[in-house]
Amino acid sequence: MRLDKYLAHAQVGTRKEVKLLIRKKHVTVNGEIVIKDDVHIDEVHDVVCVDGEEIYYETMVYLMLNKPSGVISATVDEVHETVLDCIGAQLPKDCFPVGRLDIDTEGLLLITNDGKLSHFLLSPKHHVKKTYYVEMKNILSKEDIEILENGSIVLDEKVIKPAKVEVIDDYHCYLTIEEGRYHQVKRMMSAVGNEVLYLKRISMGSLRLDENLQTGEWRWLSEEEVQALKNK
């Protein structure tokens, strides 16, 4: 594996940042300073250090699941099937879903063992947008849309941030939010006198649900998708 890729995968920094560390002689391999980022190393046997601190390689896992209804966003449950049960592949024991989708909500769910990325995506200060496809019981009026988009809805005694509404037709829309409150989309629709009949997340940050994935199917993320998530 290339040295810069090894350091990036070990969460030392982005590929650009680790290249700079290497060129500035902060990195050693088996005790020798290395200044070329394209040097290939043995990630199992070589000892890689940054400023004298050994960097351990850990395989990071990133996959997207098209979550089906009836499955809970958890790693273990004695009653319900979990999102990890849907994978059917041998994953590291420390894998977990990033955030939660309600048991009856379908769509995009990121599963990883990268705690740093999970914290970044879920932290309110980073304003990571989530977009949902919403099927509603009642017609969504212009007044309803204004309320959803002007940031006047109060949940849990706090005013939530404005949403973005893209109308498909009277009973269907895309709703984009930045927060992740409990049952947020359903409660927002309830606040304008509507009811969610079907809910599916289609994107989180830069990551969009692969249209080729059937409900319950999953695939690994590409390196480009992972880097885009990290760079927001």
102 tagged catalytic: yes
DSSP-derived letter for residue 217 is -
Cα 212 to Cα 210: distance, rounded to the nearest angstrom: 5
Q: What is the pLDDT of residues 206-222, one digit of tens each?
A: 999 999 999 999 999 99
Q: In 140-157, which positions are buried (b, 16+ CB within 10 angstroms) versus exposed (e)? A: beeebbebbeeeebebee
Cα 58 to Cα 109: distance, rounded to the nearest angstrom: 22
Q: What is the mean pLDDT of the chain?
A: 93
- Mean pLDDT computed over 161-190: 96
Q: What is the pLDDT of residues 53-79, one digit of tens each?
A: 998 877 789 999 999 999 999 999 889
Neighbours of 193 (CB within 10 A): 12
Report whether pLDDT(232) > 70. no
Q: Where are the beta strands (DSSP E) in the chain?
A: 27-29, 32-33, 48-50, 53-54, 62-67, 96-97, 106-112, 130-136, 154-155, 158-159, 164-169, 172-177, 196-204, 207-208, 218-220
- What domains does the chain contain, in order, with CATH numbers? 3-54 (3.10.290.10), 62-123+215-231 (3.30.70.580), 129-204 (3.30.70.1560)
Lowest model confidence (mean pLDDT) among 4-18, 61-75, 133-147, 194-208: 4-18
- Select which of 102, 104, 169, 210 is catalytic: 102
